[in-house]
Structure 1
Amino acid sequence: MKRAFVVSFVIVFVLSLWILNSGSNQPNSLKQSLLHNGIERDYVLYVPEGLPENAPLVVVAHGYTSSAEIIMAYSGMNKIADEEKFLVVYPQGTTDLRGNNFFNVGYSFHASSKVDDLDFIKTLVTNLIEEYKINSDHVFATGMSNGGDLSYFLACYASDIFTAVAPIAGTMMQTTIENCSPNKPMPIFEIHGDADDVTLFDGDMADKDGWGPYPDNQTIIDFWVKQNNLELYDAYKFSDINPNDDSSITFHKYWSKVSANEVWFYVIENGEHDWPLLKSPFTFWESPLGWWYFSSSNMDIDTSAEIWNFFKKYSD
């Protein structure tokens, strides 16, 4: 019995190591780095075959404690890039004092951090535009959780570079909202579960969880609706494709007759802190890491496909 347990443990351990080291082995993915403010900053670049000049660029940012390889694996964004021919970059955060990967967006426990992720992303994008002849009017950002917060951060403070953003399970810290002044209307697409127990749907202005004060999701959406001078155009439920997930989606669309800068808000009813997917974007053999990390409380949409459908409105 003891020997069987040891053998099983070794198999699981070796398999886990193989999975964790297979994240950036997708064809056409390149792990690269640049020196920024004295720090070697890593990122993973995905270049679809036949990428034309003047193609769009999508920045995809990971969550707190996660990594570029992990979000590349579970999001399935590379498959969309193959079909639609856009460049994808997955920036890697730095390590905080707790030993976790992060992007600096103003959490209270990062108050002493000197990491300038805003300038890092701007520098990275500028370099990629030049190297790959990217259309500078078609630069987009999305991300999960902390990466979603970064997307909002870029919408506020890098609107001269970004065309639209799509935060997933993200929020805006209260200090960000108070200082947010984009120089143009910014299309926003937020997907958020109302049962999210990490980035709370109803916000945390009392800072009970220690991230710092942040408002509820509707307040954030209302901020951008007002910023873009929009009004509610439509609201409806999506088809409940997978009734077994005990979850459904309501779509709120804001627009204006005189503006093309829409705000989309998908509320995942009973949705948790995750990236909704119809199914795992990969089989185990295609991407062990993507298969390993696949987890979704809602299986009615493909989030990456929905994100690109939104971005595509501003890249044609």
Structure 2
Amino acid sequence: ENTKDYPIVIFLHGGHLSSAGEGHWLSGQFHIPDEDPYILVIPTKKEWDWEPQKILDLLTDVKSNMRVNEDRVYLTGLSMGGRGTFIVGSALPDQFAALMPLSPHHEPYSYVSLASGVSHLPIWMSFGNIDIVSSYYMATEMVDALEEEGAYIDFTTLEGWGHWGWEHLYSNEWVIGWLLAQERGTPHLYFPGITMQLELTLLDDETGTPVTDKEVWIYHTNMDGQYYWPAEELPVYDTEVDVAIDEVGSDGCSCWKLVTNESGVVILDTIIPGFEGGEGVSHIHLAWIEDFGDGVLLFDSVSEDFIEIYQSIYGDHVFYIETETVDGVIHGQTVVNL
């Protein structure tokens, strides 16, 4: 009834999950956002490992019968299905936008040798630290191999988890949001599982010395316009981060400062006086940066002053600038060579 093309999420079940009933139960665990619905495909297998050709045949059939966004096809799975994401992903390297393996199983052979075949894809792997069914050690070996290949790999250790609990991940809006944010052929677009921990230092305009008598607070705004205080840990996913500075002056704070944490660089790049936060409160927008190596960075907003400042510090770089946001998901990029 419409012309929308939908993303596809393919879920590969574990070794003991093969009945239609179990597949139906799992389908009800996936978070499907109202603003960005997707086609959930749950095949079944009878073999030990997942067969890439059968997944390709299935994918071809879905594409021929439904409206599909071919740049937003995602592969995830648990246990034997987790290893299946590496097997299928490496055999079909041009089909997927991202992989999300959960507790990938280590038998009958190591999947670490497949790292080079999936290193071009964003990967988020999760594993319980007390899992005695699948090998946590092999998962860490895979992380090392992927990092050596220059891949984007986020590895989440689930403290106190064994070989269970995957429905809590699939039902999580932030986990699914990360998956749906990725697009085939682009660098990793968002930062999963990162909490903004900013230590903001204000500088006196005249002396350049730190100012200690001003109150500073930080809050998160997600794409629905909801606010979260920094004490609540949230992933930085499609999130605008604002800083309100108390009693700086009606003309705002003319200084800027680099703020770093373990995951990147935050730039205070633009100042908008008159932000609704009380008399003399300014609004500062932050540009979030990730360094992909070789001078390639990704950020979500930029100003002319920002380019001048950043170039004066770091020299020439290639930037991927996110450009178009539709339903909270960025679909395009502009490449600027400074």
Query: TM (normalized to structure 2)?
Result: 0.48
1:132-281 maps to which residues of 2 (within 5 A)? 132-171=66-105, 174-178=109-113, 180-182=115-117, 185-202=120-137, 216-227=138-149, 229=150, 262-277=152-167
Once residues 155 and 172 of structure 1 are traced to their aligned partners in structure 2, the CA distance between those partners, rounded to angstroms, is: 16
1:306 and 1:146, CA in 2 relative to 1: closer, same or farther beyond 3 A? farther
Q: Which amino acid aligns with 1:58?
A: V
Q: Deviation per CA, 1:40-64: give whole Å up to 9, x if none.
A: xxxxxxxxxx785321100011111
Gapped runs of 5+ residues in structure 2? Answer: 184-329, 331-338
Secondary structure, aligned partner of 2:68: coil
Taking structure 1 as reference, are residues 93 and 159 closer, same or farther at Cα in structure 2, changes over 3 Å only? same
Supply the distance in 1 between the matched residues of 2:181 and 2:31 (Cα, whole angstroms). Answer: 19
Q: 1:56 aligns with which of 4, 7, 14?
A: 7
User: Which letter maps to 1:122?
Assistant: L
Q: Distance in 2 between matches of 1:314 and 1:81?
A: 15
Conserved? CA contact 2:31–2:171, under 8 Å: no
Match of 1:310 among 162, 171, 178: 178
> Aligned pair in 2 of structure 1 residues 176, 72: CA closer, same or farther (>3 Å)?
same
Q: Which has the larger radius of gyration?
A: 2
Instruction: Give the letter for the 1:314 counterpart.
Output: Q
Counterpart of 2:41 (choices 89, 92, 98) is: 89
Letter in 2 for 1:157: A
- Cα distance 1:136–1:76, how it changes in 2: closer, same or farther (>3 A)? same
Residues 313/146 of structure 1: CA separation in 2 closer, same or farther (3 Å cut)? same
Identify if the C-alpha distance between structure 1 residues 165 and 69 changes in structure 2 by more than 3 Å, giving closer, same or farther: farther
Higher helix share: 1
Deviation at 1:141, TM superposition (A): 0.7
CA contact (8 A) 1:144 1:167 kept: yes
- CA deviations over 1:93-113 (Å, ceiling 9, x no partner): 11xxxxxxx4525xxxxxxxx
Structure 1 residue 88: Cα displacement: 0.7
What SS class does the counterpart of residue 182 from structure 1 fall into?
Answer: helix
Structure 1 CA distance for aligned equivalents of residues 111 and 99 of structure 2? 16
CA shift digits 1:121-152 (9 cap, x unpaired): 01111221222121111111111111111111
Q: Look up the SS of the partner of 2:136 in the other structure.
A: coil
Higher RCO, 1 vs 2 (CA within 8 Å, ≥6 residues apart)? 1
SS of residue matched to 1:136: strand
The 2-side partners of 1:170 and 1:184 are apart by 17
Three-state SS of the structure 2 residue aligned to 1:80 is coil
Letter aligned with residue 143 of structure 1: G
Pair 158,148 (structure 1): closer, same or farther in 2 beyond 3 Å: same
Which structure: greater strand fraction? 2
**Structure 1 residue aligned with 2:268:** none
Amino acid in the other structure paired with 1:104: D
Compare 301-310 and 84-93 and name the one that shifted more: 301-310
Is this contact kept in 1: 2:11–2:77, CA < 8 A? yes
Match of 1:118 among 48, 52, 55: 52
1:218 CA displacement: 1.2
What's the TM-score, normalizing by structure 1?
0.51
